[in-house]
């Protein structure tokens, strides 16, 4: 009985053999592996060989069964072999013939093949060239544009070339060269455009003067046009329009864009914008323009010497800001309003500072006036471009004060020339024409003078109408400066009145005072000055009316400044009056210096001293000239002269150098005083009441009467009484004179006629002198008591 294990192995081997027989040889590997993995592969080999032998036997059986058919097939196959050989020979022959016949065709086909290949290559080449030609054309166009300095189109061409055309042919070597060259081309365009910008900046720097001049001409013509429109009415009523006025006048002036080519800055801006460097460009442009602004705003050192210096300075500033305004409105953001305002603020402050400095050097009022007009035009021009100019007009108000000062200096010279060249005599008038001419120059009306026949004289000298006319010219000069300053009528009126007041109270007053204080001026000139200033004082109301007419501001207006001309002329007249008084006193002193008294004379002369007679004659002739003076002036002058004469005679009598005095000398002196009193009684100047003028000599008269009448008892008895006969005699004065006569008496010179009672009289003199000293001492003690009462002394015990 067989083992179960060998049975399973035999069954497995059988299965493997069937699988080998039925399975594709490509998949037999796993089956064989299962045989070799087991331990029965020897048995399996035996079974495999047994299976092979069985199959060999079956094959042999099958072959034996089909052998005859195989032999028959071989026989037929041999027959076919012969036929096949014949067919082969035919085919070979046919092939040879075909090969011989097809050689030319093959050659032609080969040629056609080459042609087809060339055609395809040509077509491909044409296609490639069609792609490359636009690139080359664009590059050629780029070079041409750069050569002709059309940089912005060149940059656009470069952009198209880089982004549109080169990517299509990027694999070609020349395209790679182009791509590598593009940054260099961009940089070249950038550098060239920047060079053009620098040329542009240099160009506008050079042309700023011309641009500014043109802009200011436009502003001036616009102002003229406005004036024409306001002054030329239509025929049918109303005012002409600007268009109508322009039609009849040539007002075309080229603008900044006509004088400067702004295309470089626009191109450069576009180029830098495309290149992504707009901010760099803006910063560079603004930085360079700031530098140019500082150069433009730096005035030349001699600018103040001529108006052309100021005009060139203004032209450059206007030109600078006209260009910036054009850039502001024609570019998008290259400059902005904040940048312009910043530049303008800087320019305004520097311009005002420069004008303040340079205008202060100007001493010619005409140049200051021209400068003011130029500043107004400068301000109007820039205001037309939208720049605020209020500070310029404020500065003009400062220059107005300077203008007033220069006018005052100029008119000071004018007044000095008028006063120095005047003859200080009434103006003679030979005929009606001259009379009307003078009355036309100066507002003067005198019915009595008009009735007088020719020739006749005005009471004033030539400087009156000349000074009055020059005051009006000064007012006109002040008015000229106020034009175009946008001031109200009240402001103009106030300015004119204040300036005129300065002219009157300072300039004219100083000139008059200088003339009055001249050392060589005579009484006749002083008298004429008083007459002249009186008439000028009366004319002040006409000056008020004159200012009112040109400013249309009534003097009754609350804030209207009043003219102080009357004060000026009153002060001048008072100074002249004082000078007359002083001059008269000096003349009197000169005559008194001629006095030659013999103080030891035994007998008096028969008449007054010669020097005094001449002095009285001089006074009479002098006061005769005072007929045209106001009454009080003449009376005051006469009274002042008499008082000064009286005081001087008193001093002459009491001077220390006169140590001795005789009665004869005193009597001669009395004759001179009587001559003075006679002059006072004669009324040299009308208007004195009673013996008013004689009172100037009352001190001398009472003193002389006291000594000549030897009325000491009355004097001593009534001293201090309001009704005292010798109230004006001072005891000190009396004692001084008595001492002079006492010394003489001791030498028996004075009281020779009293020799019989010599001792009694000498004793009387001593007694009088003693009593006079007692009066003087008591008077001195009384003064001390009064002083003590008015100024009490502080003591430790309190106030006393």
Q: How do strand 456-457 and strand 428-429 relate by DSSP bridges?
A: antiparallel
- Of 326, 352, 387, the last residue of a domain is 387
Length of the chain (residues): 800
453 in any annotated domain: no
527 in any annotated domain: no
CB 301 within 8 A of CB 193: no
Residues 6+ apart with CB under 8 A from 580: 523, 526, 527, 530, 633, 637
DSSP code for 563: P
Unique residue bearing structure tokens 């008020």: 544
341 in any annotated domain: yes
Residues 6+ apart with CB under 8 A from 571: 509
Q: Which residues of the chain have pLDDT under 50?
A: 1-2, 234-251, 748-754, 793-800
- Of 387, 411, 437, the last residue of a domain is 387
Whole domain around residue 732: which residue ranges? 710-786
Q: How do strand 794-795 and strand 798-799 relate by DSSP bridges?
A: antiparallel
13 in any annotated domain: no
> With a threshold of 0.85, does the pTM exceed it?
no
Give dist(CA 216, CA 312) in Å, integer: 11
15 in any annotated domain: no
691 in any annotated domain: no
Number of domains in the chain: 2
Residue 746: what pLDDT? Answer: 54
730 in any annotated domain: yes
Residue 469: what pLDDT? Answer: 93
Tokens at 790, concatenated: 């008015």
Residue 754: what pLDDT? Answer: 47
**If 0-12 CB within 10 Å is exposed, 13-18 middle and 19+ buried, where does residue 77 land?**
exposed
- Of 387, 413, 435, the last residue of a domain is 387
Give the relative orientation of helices 41-147 and 151-160 as an angle to the nearest 10 degrees: 170
- Which three-class secondary structure string do you get for 499-541? HHHHHHHHHHHHHHHHHHCCCCCCHHHHHHHHHHHHHHHHCHH
For residue 98, CA distances in Å to 40, 92, 113, 400, 600 come to 68, 10, 21, 126, 196
287 in any annotated domain: yes
Residues 6+ apart with CB under 8 A from 193: 151, 152, 264, 267, 268, 271, 272
């Amino acid at each position: 009985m067989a083992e179960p294990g060998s049975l399973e192995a035999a069954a497995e081997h059988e299965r493997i053999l069937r699988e080998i027989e039925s399975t594709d040889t490509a998949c037999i590997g796993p089956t064989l592996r299962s045989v070799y993995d087991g331990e029965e592969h020897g048995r399996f080999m035996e079974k495999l060989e047994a299976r092979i032998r069985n199959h060999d036997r079956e094959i042999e059986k099958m072959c034996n069964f089909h052998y005859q058919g195989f032999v028959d097939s071989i026989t037929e196959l041999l027959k076919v072999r012969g036929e096949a050989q014949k067919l082969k020979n035919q085919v070979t022959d046919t092939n040879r013939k075909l090969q011989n016949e097809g050689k030319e065709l093959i050659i032609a086909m080969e040629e056609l093949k080459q042609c087809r290949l060339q055609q395809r290559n040509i077509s491909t080449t044409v296609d490639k060239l069609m792609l490359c030609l636009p690139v080359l054309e664009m590059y050629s166009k780029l070079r041409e544009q750069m050569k002709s300095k059309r940089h912005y189109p060149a940059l656009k061409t470069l952009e198209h070339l880089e982004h549109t055309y080169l990517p299509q042919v990027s694999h070609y070597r020349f395209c790679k060269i182009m791509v590598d060259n593009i940054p260099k081309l961009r940089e070249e365009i950038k550098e060239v455009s920047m060079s053009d910008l620098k040329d542009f900046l240099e160009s506008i720097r050079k042309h700023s003067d011309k641009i500014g001049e043109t802009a200011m001409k436009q502003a001036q013509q616009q102002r003229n046009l406005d004036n024409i429109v306001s002054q030329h009415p239509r025929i049918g009523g109303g005012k002409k329009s600007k268009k109508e006025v322009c039609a009849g006048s040539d007002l075309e002036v080229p603008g900044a864009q006509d004088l400067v080519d702004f295309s470089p800055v626009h191109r450069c801006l576009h180029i830098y914008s495309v290149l992504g460097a707009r901010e760099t460009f803006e910063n560079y442009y603004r930085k360079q323009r700031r530098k140019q602004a500082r150069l433009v705003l730096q005035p030349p050192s001699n600018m103040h010497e001529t108006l052309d210096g100021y005009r060139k300075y203004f032209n450059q500033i206007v030109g600078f800001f006209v260009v910036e305004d054009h850039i502001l409105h024609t570019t998008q953001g290259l400059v902005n309003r904040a940048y312009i305002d910043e530049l303008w603020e800087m320019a305004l402050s520097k311009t005002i500072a420069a004008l303040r400095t340079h205008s202060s050097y100007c001493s010619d009022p005409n140049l200051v006036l021209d400068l003011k007009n130029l500043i107004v035009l400068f301000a109007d021009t820039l205001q037309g471009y939208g720049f605020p100019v209020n500070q310029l007009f404020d500065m003009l108000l400062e220059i107005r004060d300077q203008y007033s000062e220069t006018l005052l200096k100029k008119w000071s010279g004018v007044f000095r020339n008028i006063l120095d060249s005047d003859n200080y005599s009434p103006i003679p008038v030979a005929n009606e024409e001259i009379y009307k001419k003078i009355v036309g120059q100066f507002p003067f009306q005198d019915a009595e003078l008009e009735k007088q026949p020719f020739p006749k004289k005005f009471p004033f000298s030539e400087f009156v109408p000349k000074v009055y006319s020059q005051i009006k010219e000064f007012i006109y000069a002040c008015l000229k400066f106020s034009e175009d300053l946008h001031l109200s009528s009240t402001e103009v009126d106030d300015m004119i009145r204040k300036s005129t007041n300065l002219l009157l109270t300072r300039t004219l007053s100083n000139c008059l005072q200088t003339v009055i204080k001249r050392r060589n001026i005579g009484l006749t000139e002083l008298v004429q000055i008083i007459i002249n200033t009186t008439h000028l004082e009366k004319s002040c109301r006409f000056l008020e009316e004159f200012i009112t007419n040109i400013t249309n501001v009534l003097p009754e207006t609350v804030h209207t400044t009043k003219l102080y001309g009357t004060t000026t002329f009153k002060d001048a007249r008072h100074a002249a009056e004082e000078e007359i008084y002083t001059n008269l006193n000096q003349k009197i002193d000169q005559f008194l210096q001629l006095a030659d008294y013999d103080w030891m004379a035994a007998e008096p002369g028969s008449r007054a001293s010669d020097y005094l007679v001449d002095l009285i004659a001089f006074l009479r002739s002098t006061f005769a000239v005072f007929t045209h003076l106001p009454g009080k002036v003449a009376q005051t002058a006469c009274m002042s002269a008499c008082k000064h004469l009286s005081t001087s005679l008193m001093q002459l009598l009491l001077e220390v150098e006169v140590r001795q005095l005789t009665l004869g000398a005193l009597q001669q002196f009395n004759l001179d005083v009587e001559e003075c009193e006679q002059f006072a009684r004669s009324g040299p100047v009308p208007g004195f009441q009673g013996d008013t003028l004689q009172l100037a000599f009352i001190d001398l008269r009472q003193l002389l009467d006291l000594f000549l009448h030897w009325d000491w008892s009355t004097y001593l008895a009534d001293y201090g009484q309001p009704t005292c006969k010798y109230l004006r005699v001072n005891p000190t004065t009396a004692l001084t004179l008595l001492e002079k006569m006492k010394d003489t008496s001791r030498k028996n010179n004075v009281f020779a006629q009293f020799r019989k009672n010599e001792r009694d009289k000498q004793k009387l003199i001593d007694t009088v002198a003693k009593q006079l000293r007692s009066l003087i001492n008591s008077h001195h003690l009384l003064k001390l008591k009064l002083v003590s009462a008015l100024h009490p002394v502080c003591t430790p015990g309190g106030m006393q």
